């Protein structure tokens, strides 16, 4: 799962890059946001329990990605606020210096060190060179007096504008911090619903739930592979191979919402860090990755590409090849290798569309138990 300008674009606003595009693949998960409207677990069939569980996990995924987006926006705004504050400090320093210069001029005039006394020194200079030096000094002093007031006025205007910008930047930072807290609380509430449902299930229900999902995943995987849409003759680019190598090295580390490594990851935290290890910066959230990175068809999929899931683009994984992905699945799970069809496919993106495919490629060796544990995360493995 999952600004140098004082007013950057809000990634949480409708129509922003984080807003997912219309999905091309139907979802296997209901989009009803009211978990309470689902039937209680006690009398559910296993199929209904699976639907309920998927709904709760999907809501938790969506909340996690909203939290990640709010956190990224807050980071950008915090950086911007610091820059505006630094410029305001410099402007206030310049203003103080301008006021000091204006004060010196006023004192000179009051104490008689005026242009008239300078002209007397020029008139009684002992030699032409001294007179020339006095002339230069007089001209410079005259220019400084003439420019002192405009400089002071300009410094006051700049300081005033930056003070206003600083207040706005701070207000926005506080607003985003509040949004981040709200998203955090939303994630916690969704995960608490999952925990509550899991706690209400008997071991037999959990076993049957896990078995049913595995059967459904196996069926979806067979259907996808039998369609021939995947072509495993494609080799990765050098960057794609490096991103995949990094992802494989994280296998076994726990899923944790909002985590970006190095000890735990959520889904988009894993994909972002994998491509960062390959020298490519990609957006933090799965929704932004889907919205901003170049799309690639499943028939052109190559190792290292990112596979995106669900209509809202709320889950993402790294393509391993041979119909498999490396993913950070869900709470209770660990980074692992899963079938590409373990979740409803939305599409795929390529962080390095200009990267030339390697002439030959040997996939990274998978650690023991790379596929252990449920893809659905129910078994807490």
List of long-range contacts for 300-303, beta carbons under 8 Å, 24+ apart: 300/231, 300/234, 301/230, 301/231, 301/234, 301/348, 302/234, 302/235, 302/236, 302/237, 302/240, 302/350, 302/357, 303/234, 303/235, 303/236, 303/240, 303/241, 303/244, 303/361, 303/363
Spell out the domains of the chain, with CATH numbers in brackets.
35-199 (1.10.287), 203-349 (3.90.1720.10)
- Six-digit token pair at 95? 């203003």
How is residue 326 annotated by DSSP? E
- Name the band, by pLDDT with cuts 50, 70 and 90, for residue 28: very low
- Containing 91, the helix (H) or strand (E) segment is helix 46-110
Beta bridge partners of 349: 295, 306
Beta bridge partners of 104: none
Rounded to whole angstroms, what are the CA distances from 22 to 217, 244, 311, 347? 24, 28, 7, 11
- Containing 309, the helix (H) or strand (E) segment is strand 306-309
Separation CA 73–CA 54 (nearest Å): 29
- Name the band, by pLDDT with cuts 50, 70 and 90, for residue 270: very high
Helix axes 128-200, 115-123, angle to 10 degrees: 140
pLDDT of residue 27: 36
Convert the pLDDT of each residue in 162-209 to its tens digit: 677 777 776 776 776 777 677 667 767 777 776 777 777 788 877 887
pTM over 0.85, yes/no? no
pLDDT of residue 36: 38
Q: Which residue do the tokens 């990609």 mark?
A: 282
Rounded to whole angstroms, what are the CA distances from 241 to 4, 234, 238, 379? 34, 12, 5, 31
> CA neighbours within 13 Å on the CB side: how many for 28?
18
Convert the pLDDT of each residue in 119-159 to its tens digit: 445 445 555 555 455 555 555 655 555 556 666 666 667 77
pLDDT of residue 39: 42
> Which among 241, 374, 212, 230 has a CA at the least distance from the CA of 305?
241
- Containing 78, the helix (H) or strand (E) segment is helix 46-110
Contact 319, 306 (CB under 8 A): yes
Contact 359, 321 (CB under 8 A): no
> Which among 72, 24, 70, 55 has a CA at the least distance from the CA of 349?
24
């Amino acid at each position: 799962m999952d600004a140098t300008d004082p007013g950057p674009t809000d990634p949480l606003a409708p129509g922003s890059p984080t807003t997912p595009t219309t999905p091309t693949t139907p979802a296997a998960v209901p989009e009803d946001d009211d978990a309470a409207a689902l039937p209680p677990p006690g009398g559910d069939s296993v199929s209904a329990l699976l639907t309920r569980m998927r709904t709760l996990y999907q809501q938790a995924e969506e909340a996690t990605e909203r939290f990640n987006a709010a956190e990224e926006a807050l980071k950008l705004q915090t950086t911007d606020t610091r820059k505006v504050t630094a410029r305001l400090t410099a402007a206030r320093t310049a203003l103080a210096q301008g006021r000091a210069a204006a004060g010196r001029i006023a004192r000179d005039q009051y104490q008689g060190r005026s242009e008239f006394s300078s002209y007397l020194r020029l008139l009684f200079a002992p030699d032409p060179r001294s007179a020339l030096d006095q002339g230069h000094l007089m001209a410079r002093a005259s220019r400084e007096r003439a420019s002192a007031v405009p400089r002071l006025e300009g410094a006051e205007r700049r300081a005033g504008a930056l003070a206003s910008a600083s207040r706005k930047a701070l207000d926005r930072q506080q607003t985003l911090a509040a949004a981040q807290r709200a998203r955090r609380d939303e994630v916690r509430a969704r995960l608490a619903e999952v925990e509550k449902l899991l706690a209400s299930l008997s071991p037999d229900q959990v076993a049957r739930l896990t078995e049913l999902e595995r059967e459904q995943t196996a069926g979806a995987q067979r259907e996808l592979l039998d369609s021939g849409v995947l072509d495993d003759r494609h080799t990765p680019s050098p960057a794609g191979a490096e991103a995949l190598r990094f992802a494989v090295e994280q296998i076994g580390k726990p899923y944790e919402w909002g985590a970006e490594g190095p000890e735990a990851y959520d889904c988009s935290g894993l994909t972002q860090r994998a491509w960062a290890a390959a020298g490519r910066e990609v957006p933090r959230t799965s929704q932004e990755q889907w919205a901003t990175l170049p799309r690639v068809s499943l028939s052109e999929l190559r190792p290292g590409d990112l596979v995106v899931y669900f209509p809202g683009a709320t889950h993402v994984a790294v393509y391993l090849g041979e119909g498999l992905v490396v993913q950070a699945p869900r709470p209770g799970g660990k980074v692992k290798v899963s079938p590409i069809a373990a979740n409803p496919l939305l599409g795929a993106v390529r962080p390095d569309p200009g990267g030339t495919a390697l002439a030959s490629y040997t996939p990274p060796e998978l650690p023991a138990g790379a596929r252990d544990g449920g893809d659905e995360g129910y078994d807490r493995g």
